[in-house]
Amino acid sequence: MTVWELPRKLRLAVEDGDANADLREWVTRLPDIVAALAGRWSLEVGSPFQPGGSTSWVAPASTAAGARVVLKVGWRHDEALHEAEGLRTWDGNGAVRLLDARTSGRTSALLLEACAPATSLSELPELEQDVVVAGLLSRLWIAPAEEHEFRALQSMCDRWADEFAARQDAVSGGGTKLDPGVVRAGVALFRELPRTAENHVLLCTDLHAGNVLAATREPWLAIDPKPYVGDPTYDVLQHMLNCTERLAADPYRFARRMADLLDLDARRLCQWLFARCVIESLDDPELRPAIAALTP
């Protein structure tokens, strides 16, 4: 790589006035970090994929033997923990294969198989996306080892509920706040549902069409997981939240379709969907029609 380049989303993240100071400092060291990793793994590294992510630098690369790979260099933070461990556990079954990994200080580096042609699933119609996402999830939902380091979904839900409650209290009111009874019901469900799950599996938690790429080894592979262990029903939500028009138009019908594709309890999926929409409502007012339709 002859010219150093930042992906647009990462550049915007560090230019934000509220950017984390540790992230900014880490980005200043990225050229040296990437160069050291290229030397360690004997890589010829290209320019980063655009627009990229807000906490990572990801680029195509080739090994000394000429194999095409991907180098992902991430800033270590709570949301991105255990990506390497998750990919290692799945071992290429429905997800991109991890070739090697290294963690040092605030840096988490992954050497990944390359997806070619790397077409995003988001380029397909949503009804086709549903089928692909369901097929991948059904393979990724495996039981982790008895002694594992993955966090419980319960811990994430409790943290998000606490953060939502604090932000909700800070909102001045007017048309920005949901009915207090709806808020209480949504937050209560978001805390309760992880505790009442009958099945606990390894979850992606962030599987949506933008995180699914076409490949040569398999038709589609999941990338960028944020692994937790818990209720598989939760794992459908991010895909549904990204299909905004269908979610607003008829969330029950959408939920029944995904539940049928994955042999899940449609009622429980609707509960999860209602709770997650409430939690996301401060940042996404477009979820209000779905909240109104799903309110118990």
What are 205-237's pLDDT values in tens digits? 999 999 999 999 999 999 999 999 999 999 999
Alpha helices (runs of H) in 17-93, residue ranges in sequence order: 21-28, 30-40, 83-90
pLDDT tens, 104-142? 999 999 999 999 887 999 999 999 999 999 999 999 999
Of 145 and 268, the one with more pLDDT: 268
Q: Which two tokens stand for residue 248?
A: 């607003």
pLDDT digits (tens, 9 = 90+) for 43-82: 999 999 999 999 999 999 999 999 999 999 999 988 889 9
- Do 278 and 295 touch, CB atoms closer than 8 A? no
Residue 222's identity, in one-letter code, is: A
Question: Rounded CA gap, 48 and 12, in Å?
Answer: 15
- In which band, very low, low, confident or very high, does the pLDDT at 168 lie, cut at 50, 70 and 90? confident
pLDDT value of position 2: 46
Cα–Cα dist 264/122, whole Å: 24
Tell me the residue type at 265: D
For 64, the token pair is 């000394």
Q: How far apart are the C-alpha atoms of 110 and 112, rounded to whole Å?
A: 6
Helix (H) or strand (E) holding 44: strand 43-45
- The residues assigned a catalytic role are 206
pTM for this model (two decimals): 0.93
Q: Which helix (H) or strand (E) is 74 found in, with range? A: strand 68-75
